[in-house]
Amino acid sequence: MKCIKFFSFLLVLFILNQTTAQEFKLGKVSVAELEQKKHPKDSSAAAAILYKKGSATIDYNQQEGFVLITHVEARIKVYKKEGYDWANQSVTYYNGSNDSREKVDFSDVCTFNLVNGKIEKTKLKSDGIFNEEVNKYRARKKITMPNVKEGSVLEYSYTIRTSNITMMRDWAFQTSIPVNYSEYVTYIPEYYTFSSRQKGYIFPKVTVNKQSRSILFTNKERSGGLSTHTTYSTDNVDYLETQTIYIAEDLPGMKEESFVNNINNYTSSMEQELSMVKFPNSQIKTFSTDWNSVAKTIYEYDDFGPELNKTGYFEDDLKALLAGVTSPEEKMLIILNHVKSNVKWNEYYGYSCDKGVRKAYQEKSGNIAEINLMLTAMLRHSGLTANPVLVSTRSNGVALFPNRTAYNYVIAAVETENGYILLDASEKFSIPNVLPLRTLNWQGRLIRKDGTSEEIDLMPKKASNDIVFLTYNIDPEGKVTGQARRQCTDYNAMITRKNIFSTKEDEYLEKLENQNNKIEISDYSKTNEKEILKPIIETYSFTGNNLCEIIGGKIYVSPMLFFSNEKNPFNQETREYPVDFGFPFMDKYNITIKIPDGYAVETLPAPAAMTMQDNLGSFKFNIAANENTLQMVISHQINEAIVSTQQYEMLKDYYKAMIAKESEKIVLKKI
């Protein structure tokens, strides 16, 4: 009996071990995997990662020294046509200087299908692999897997090789589809110390092992004399290698939600930053361990700090522009507009200059660093206290942990008695303290000349207004004729100007008509379209035949017409990520409605007011009748750019009540 119990205990241990360290091999696809019709834990999933394994190894060879080799292999199941995109895989890699260049190779790329009960394997041909240039420094190797169908299983692997040890890749355990098994292993010699940081809400199981390794050196010596003699000798150097295994299982797919700036901020993942190098008989070399040292290191780069000291290329132009100008505010605007109108952004991000500020100014084109470091240098030259601010754009994710790759953008800040004024000369319609939306990503880091730095809040505090004056008449047949005047400030103005200037006026108006219940617009005009410090104003007349309903001789009309919110963007039971509106805002509507002759009001929506806790926002709905005219004032205001998950339930209820009120109809009856 004891033997049976002991055998049962061993069996349990074996099963547990199998679930925590599963063996997967490329090419060993099972019939069961191919027969599976839907994911067992998410029937809506279009695809799933059955397993993904990665390793990062710092290895030594006599020719190159230590090199970093990253190897990844994966198996993906396609359930639906919407999952076909997973047949397209790509790896972006550094293609700049020889010292840091990366080499990427795909292998074992196959598609498996079940045909008449048998497994059919289709290998990738050479025409399915190609390279594309991303920018001067980066390229992308891409594959498109063949013969993909619903039910296919896809496999691939790739290897990245580089002599730049600092370029260890981030590892995402989670993605937009379910992940059954994700494993990542690092092999790091004792000479290197990395800081590991994890993001997201699901953390992997971590196992650490130490093992002895050795490096074999071959020495070559020649002796002189009548004949040259060459001798070889070998030396062994022993060192400890740390093996760290990260395993995560049964990860749900990340679901997109409304008003999320970048879902990768909340995805379960890991990033590693080289913090120290210590070789035998050598001094310790430390890298960026906190934000101050990160900022100082970046400032000292040749393509950053020294570029701020170059002034000769603009001095004559600036002297003419600022002649007689003494006001700091006026100087700031003149310089900002000068850079915006003379140097066009080439669409490249980065805090490092490519060709340099002088050449960018001469060629009238540059990347973000060249444009905004040039702007900073001009502001300083004019006598203003200006410094660069490092930023991580919304697409790049929030800079949570100190490292040099956390930032990918730079703007300028001017210090005044009333605080910092933030500037970006890459955006045509931006103004002081109204930055491009791409930069509104929590915090940036300002760097001064002496290398000190401080955190800068990038999120706007002032509300951007969208104020509408709406006047319309309703005739007995339900046709609506009216005029609208819309006035936008700050971020709403910047967005509106970009929308107007991105298309021809006819196309813009046609889109406006289609979005607003197929109304017909006439007498369209705009004011302050180029005076970007002022609110932009749009006015137009409109007619609509689909804005009222006539039922049983009564007219039913939603008083806000096409301006009402119709759908609650917050319909999830719970919210996993903060709500990011981008900026605080106030929408206000002043509405005058003329009742048709022979009709009277039967039903009016009741006035209402709501205020959320902590001054998060408010909604007011007022209506009054005066003979054959109705007057309404409606306002909806959100006072915080970012709303926490703890406040989500309150925000959801607020939107639900607001939309219900805006949806109530006025009922007109015949007298």
pLDDT (average), residues 337-342: 97
Q: Each residue of 520-540: pLDDT tens digit?
A: 999 999 999 999 999 999 999
Are the C-beta atoms of residues 594 and 628 closer than 8 Å to each other? yes
Band of the pLDDT at 18, cuts 50, 70, 90?
very low
Q: Each residue of 478-501: pLDDT tens digit?
A: 999 999 999 999 999 999 999 999
pLDDT for residue 226 is more than 70 = no
**At a CB cut-off of 8 Å and minimum separation 6, what does 468 contact?**
484, 485, 486, 487, 563, 587, 588, 589, 590
pLDDT for residue 94 is more than 70 = yes
Are the C-beta atoms of residues 41 and 250 closer than 8 Å to each other? yes
Nearest residue to 435 (alpha-carbon basis) of 488, 387, 372, 379 = 372
pLDDT (average), residues 290-308: 91
| pLDDT (0 to 100) of residue 2 | 37
pLDDT for residue 440 is more than 50 = yes
Pairing type for strands 229-251 and 179-189 reads antiparallel
**Single-letter amino acid code for the residue at 379:** L
**At a CB cut-off of 8 Å and minimum separation 6, what does 84 contact?**
78, 148
Residue 27 CB neighbours (<10 A): 10
| pLDDT (0 to 100) of residue 11 | 37
Beta bridge partners of 551: 554
Q: How far is CA 158 from the centre of its chain?
A: 25
**CA–CA dist 360, 390 (Å, integer):** 20
Percent of the residues in the chain that have a pLDDT greater than 70, as a whole number: 94
Residue 636 CB neighbours (<10 A): 21
Six-digit token string for 311: 């002034």
Q: Each residue of 157-173: pLDDT tens digit?
A: 999 999 999 878 999 99
| pLDDT (0 to 100) of residue 98 | 66
> Which residue segments constitute the domains of the chain, with CATH numbers given?
45-253+265-285 (2.60.40.3140), 291-457 (3.10.620.30), 464-670 (2.60.120.1130)
Residue with tokens 């003329």: 594
| Strands laid side by side in the 453-457 sheet | 419-423, 409-416, 386-391, 443-447, 453-457
pLDDT for residue 375 is more than 80 = yes
pLDDT (average), residues 384-404: 91
- Of 193-197, 237-241, 473-477, 621-625, which range is least confident? 193-197
pLDDT (average), residues 214-225: 68
pTM: predicted TM-score of the whole model, two decimal places: 0.85
**At a CB cut-off of 8 Å and minimum separation 6, what does 597 contact?**
476, 628
Q: Considering only residues 195 and 580, tell me which one the structure prediction assigns the higher pLDDT.
A: 580
CA distances, 208 to each of 186, 398, 423 (Å): 10, 29, 47
pLDDT for residue 9 is more than 70 = no
| pLDDT (0 to 100) of residue 134 | 83
**CA–CA dist 182, 441 (Å, integer):** 29
Are the C-beta atoms of residues 76 and 153 closer than 8 Å to each other? yes
Give me Rg for the CA atoms of the chain.
Answer: 32
Band of the pLDDT at 293, cuts 50, 70, 90?
confident
Percent of the residues in the chain that have a pLDDT greater than 90, as a whole number: 79
Are the C-beta atoms of residues 546 and 558 closer than 8 Å to each other? no
Please give the mean pLDDT across all residues of the chain.
92
**CA–CA dist 458, 191 (Å, integer):** 38
Q: Each residue of 35-55: pLDDT tens digit?
A: 999 999 999 999 999 999 999
pLDDT (average), residues 611-639: 96
